[in-house]
Amino acid sequence: MTTTAARSSAPGSPAEGGAGGPRTINLTLHVWRQSGPSDAGRMVTIDAPGISTEMSFLEMLDVVNERLTLAGDEPIAFEHDCREGICGSCGMMVNGVAHGPQRATTVCQLHMRFFHDGQELWIEPWRAEPFPVIKDLVVDRRAFDKVIQAGGYITAPTGTAPDANAIPVPKPDADAAFEAANCIGCGACVAACPNASAMLFTAAKVTHLGLLPQGQAERDSRVLSMIATHDSLGFGSCTNIGECSAACPKEIPLEAIARLNGDLLRAARRRRRRPPRDRRRGSGAAR
Ligand code: FES
């Protein structure tokens, strides 16, 4: 199916504005259209002429959607919130690459100057069984919420906040925890992984809390529970391909997965060691 609505309201010719000025480019979009979870879905070709190279990728989709709407066609559904690369809502495959061709960049921060006049773009939703398509480019990422619910928290006393310097944290640990905390939960790691593994996402959450003193109380139960939930939701296993880290807009390193594996082995070993009598006493048993 070809939609020509976008072409009919084209604002101008390519390379407007002269040297150094604003430019426009003409694109051909092949967009995944799926009316709902039970629809089989299909690629639809949409002409997108006169796109300013100063637009972001989502602004380009806004323009296309405005043209589609004016022509009486259904706009393309896609998810977004902050458009500043911090909320993790946006995410789509652009020419087979999660978040598109610009490294360490969410698709909302990707700009049209990275594309050229006459280019064809294939735009698809994340493809992973635990992320079913809701509509067009929007997928259901509640599986990530379930992994977080399984262990992404700490136990802390209520009351007055303690002095920030009361618990010393070694600088390398603080830096690594902060690096892991950059994960925005966009799902690019899952979409990029041939196994649809969410191990980088899970590792970021385990690392972020497990490296800090406040995260020690649940360190064992956290990693065991989050991995069990990860597996039960249908995410695949990690086979160290590294696509997840390469696709991550926040550049979470593969070392996070190594840390998770270390924590997992440690937790499994300690759980096996625990005497049966202590196990019967519940979670307050000696660690
Ligand atoms: Fe928030 Fe892209 S819309 S990260």
Would you state the pLDDT for residue 5? 40
Q: What is the CATH number of domain 142-280?
A: 1.10.1060.10
111 lines ligand 1 (CB under 6 A): no
DSSP calls for 174-224: HHHHHHHHT----SHHHHH-TT---HHHHHHHHHHHHTSGGGSTTHHHHHH
Q: How many of the other CB atoms lie within 10 Å of CB of 146?
A: 14
Listed in sequence order, the residues at least 6 apart from 165 whose beta carbon sits closer than 8 Å to its beta carbon are none
What is the radius of gyration, based on Cα positions, of the chain? Answer: 23
For residue 107, which amino acid is it?
A: V
Q: Which residue has the higher pLDDT, 19 or 42?
A: 42
Question: Model confidence over 180-215: pLDDT tens digits?
Answer: 999 999 999 999 999 999 999 999 999 999 999 999
Would you state the pLDDT for residue 115? 97
Lowest mean pLDDT: which of 20-24, 44-48, 160-164, 273-277?
273-277
81 lines ligand 1 (CB under 6 A): yes
Listed in sequence order, the residues at least 6 apart from 44 whose beta carbon sits closer than 8 Å to its beta carbon are 1, 2, 3, 30, 31, 32, 33
Q: Whose CA is nearest to atom 4 of ligand 1?
A: 85
Q: What share of the chain has pLDDT > 90, as a percent?
A: 81
Q: How many of the other CB atoms lie within 10 Å of CB of 92?
A: 27
88 lines ligand 1 (CB under 6 A): yes
Q: Three-state DSSP class for 61?
A: helix
Model confidence at 21: pLDDT above 70: no
DSSP calls for 256-276: HHHHHHHHHHHHHHHHHHS-H
86 lines ligand 1 (CB under 6 A): yes
CATH of 2-134, one of 3.10.20.30, 1.10.287.810, 3.30.420.10, 3.50.50.60: 3.10.20.30
Taking the C-alpha atoms of residue 36 and residue 197, their distance in angstroms, rounded to an integer, is 24
Q: Where are the chain's structural domains?
A: 2-134, 142-280
Nearest residue to 37 via CA among 138, 128, 124:
138
Model confidence at 1: pLDDT above 70: no
Question: Model confidence over 205-246: pLDDT tens digits?
Answer: 999 999 999 999 999 999 999 999 999 999 999 999 999 999
Count of alpha carbons within 13 Å of 237, Cβ hemisphere only?
A: 2
Lowest mean pLDDT: which of 61-70, 101-110, 276-285?
276-285
For residue 191, how far is its CA from the centre of ligand 1 (angstroms)? 16
Query: Of 94, 102, 106, 182, which is best to mutate to test ligand 1, by the most ligand atoms within 8 angstroms of its C-beta?
Result: 106
For the chain, how many residues are written? Answer: 287
Taking the C-alpha atoms of residue 43 and residue 225, their distance in angstroms, rounded to an integer, is 39
108 lines ligand 1 (CB under 6 A): yes
Task: Answer whether 36's CB lies under 8 Å from 29's CB.
Answer: no
Buried b (16+ CB within 10 A) or exposed e, 218-254: bbbebbbbbbebbeebebbebeeeebbbbbbbbebbb
Listed in sequence order, the residues at least 6 apart from 232 whose beta carbon sits closer than 8 Å to its beta carbon are none
Q: Three-state DSSP class for 46?
A: strand
Q: Which atom of ligand 1 is nearest to the CA of 106?
A: 2
